Structures are given as C-alpha cells and as structure tokens.
Structure 1
Amino acid sequence: MKKVAFVCVHNSCRSQMAEGWARKLGKGIIDVYSAGTEEYHEIKPLAVEVMKEIGIDLQGQYSKQLGDIPVPDILITMGCGAECPWIPNEHREDWGLDDPSGKSIEAFRLTRDLIKEKVTQLLERIESGDLK
C-alpha cells in the first residue's frame, strides 16, 4: 500500500479534510496521513462540522507536523504555498485549493466537495498505476 500525505501550512483545514476523505474512500488502497509545516493548536471547527455533515468524523484527528508522520510515497500539498522541506517521495503534486478559513460555512462545503473530487481522482490514478 502506498503512503499518501496531505500537507498544508497548519494542518487545520484542507489537509485534515483530505485525510478524512482518503481514509473513507481509500480504505485498503492507501495509508493516509496529513501534516503541516508549522505548528497549530486545532482543526478548524467549520472543517469538522462540514465533514460531519457527510458522515466523516474528524474528532479523532489532530494537527501534526511533518516530523510526526512517516515519509510518504505520494506527497500532496493543498495550494497554501506550503514550502515543504525536501521529503523523499515517488510523486508530488499541488492541488491549488483556496483556504476557506475565515469564510462562510458554504466556502468550507465547497472546499470539502472539491477535495472529495481530487481524492477520488487520486485514488483512481493510484489503482491504475498512472500518477502522471
């Protein structure tokens, strides 16, 4: 199984939602992690709320830093300008997602749904062996 890491600056919103989706949709396909490049104290409450709306509970997740997770095979940055230190990996890409922090719950829902699309596409590429 491939190890996939979703990385953001604070690991408090987009990367946490991606981890939640990937755990649900990628069960048996990938090992999934998320982390931030800077320390942060919590997951954004609206991120937790919008994921709970679709049956994914982020309550057991917490903000982590890169050193807290295994070295990934696949590294996904979320579009937050996260400058990751060089981390060995087989594949790296940036998803270019706007940060909904400080915006309405609708912005969080839109981000949640975009992340689901991207996680689904990533899983399809992993299963087919095509990550280009």
Structure 2
Amino acid sequence: MTDKRFKVLFICRKNAARSLMAEALLRRWGMGRFEVYSAGPEPLDQPNPQAMELLRKVGIETDTLHPKSWDLFAGTDAPVMDFIFYACEDTAKLHPPHWPGQPMVAQWNFPDPLSLQGSDIERHALLNLVFGMIERRVKIFCALPDHRLAKLTAADMSDIATGEHAA
C-alpha cells in the first residue's frame, strides 16, 4: 500500500442519489485509501430522502452528504482528481467543464431510481437494486491494489510516457 490517497469524483446530473450513494460507499469500503467527492451539473437543493434513509439503514453516516455543482471541481483552484466516474449516462453525454490534471474518466451507468413512475414498493425496490449495483462496483474498485490504481492515474501515465516508470 502506498501513502497516496486517490482522489475520486462521482458525477450525476442532480447529485441527489446515485453519485451520493457512490461517494458514501467508497468512503466506507475504501478504508481511507480514497478522498471521495460527488457533484453534478444541475444539483438539487437537498439529497433524495429515500437514498439517505437507505444509507442510514446500512449504517452509513449521511450528515455530510449534499448535492454540489461540478463547477467546484473545475478550474485552477479545484482539487486534482485521479478518477472521475459518471454514475448516469445522460450526464456523461454533456460537455463537462475542464477537469484539472488528467484524471481517468469512466462511465458507471446506473438506472435512475428517482425517475421510476411506479408504486412506492416499486420505487423502493429499484432504489435497493441500484444501491446494490453501486456497492458491487465500488467493492470491485476497492479490491484493486494501490499499484494497479496508480498505473491508471495521470501521474503514473506520464512516467510511462517519459520512460521513467519502473515495472
């Protein structure tokens, strides 16, 4: 394990459910290896109450989770991310702001649990399903050893490009 804490940003349009759940789950399962954030281009004023209740039911603190604009993570004063994951397909299609550095960007598309027009039971079931999908993806990401994660970051990629990387 290295001393580096990888910076991760989860993006979703409203930053009210999927990206906030991903942020909370990576904090839990990352065991201090990651500095985790979430944001969106059209953040709501408040997180989705059902998503926050689900997180609390599994023992995850939600007091610090709140929707944020992705503009906070763009520009020269923004923290330099190692990884940016889009949690929804429609946001990945938008023209994003300029991310400082050269983060690895990937799509982790999950269904929108807020868009289902069904009964309370159906909406709750979809939210639980999406939560499980996000948790599985986060656990797989956490299972990657630090040296593998470092190979995916811009700093290590520049070392490879200049021939300074030791295998």
Cross-structure match for 1:36: 40
- Name the TM-score, length of structure 2 as normaliser: 0.72
One-letter amino acid matched to 1:116: E
Segments of 4+ moved more than 3 angstroms = none
Unmatched tracts of structure 1, length 5 or more = none
The DSSP-based 3-state class of the residue aligned with 1:81 is helix
Return the match for 1:127 from 132, 140, 146: 146
Distance 1:76 1:12 in 2: 15
Return the match for 1:115 from 134, 143, 167: 134
Distance change in 2, residues 1:49/1:102 (3 Å): farther
Cα distance, 1:126 vs structure 2:
5.3
After TM superposition, the structure 1 = structure 2 runs for residues 1-132 of structure 1, keeping only pairs within 5 Å, are 1-69=5-73, 70-82=79-91, 83=94, 84-87=96-99, 88-103=101-116, 104-125=123-144, 127-129=146-148, 131=152
- Name the TM-score, length of structure 1 as normaliser: 0.89
Contact 2:41–2:71 at 8 Å: present in 1 too? no
Distance 1:12 1:44 in 2: 5
Distance 1:2 1:57 in 2: 21
Tell me whether 8-17 or 82-91 shows the greater mean CA deviation.
Answer: 82-91
Greater strand content? 1
| Corresponding pairs, count | 131
The CA deviation string for residues 36-68 of structure 1, in whole angstroms up to 9 with x for no partner, is 112321101110111112111223211101132
Distance change in 2, residues 1:129/1:55 (3 Å): same
State the identity as a percent. 27
> Which structure is higher in RCO with an 8 Å CA cutoff and minimum separation 6?
1
Cα distance, 1:127 vs structure 2:
2.9
Unmatched tracts of structure 2, length 5 or more = 74-78, 117-122, 153-167
For the aligned residue pairs, the C-alpha RMSD in angstroms reads 1.7
Tell me whether 52-61 or 107-116 shows the greater mean CA deviation.
Answer: 52-61
Over alpha carbons, which structure has the higher Rg? 2
Distance change in 2, residues 1:7/1:117 (3 Å): same
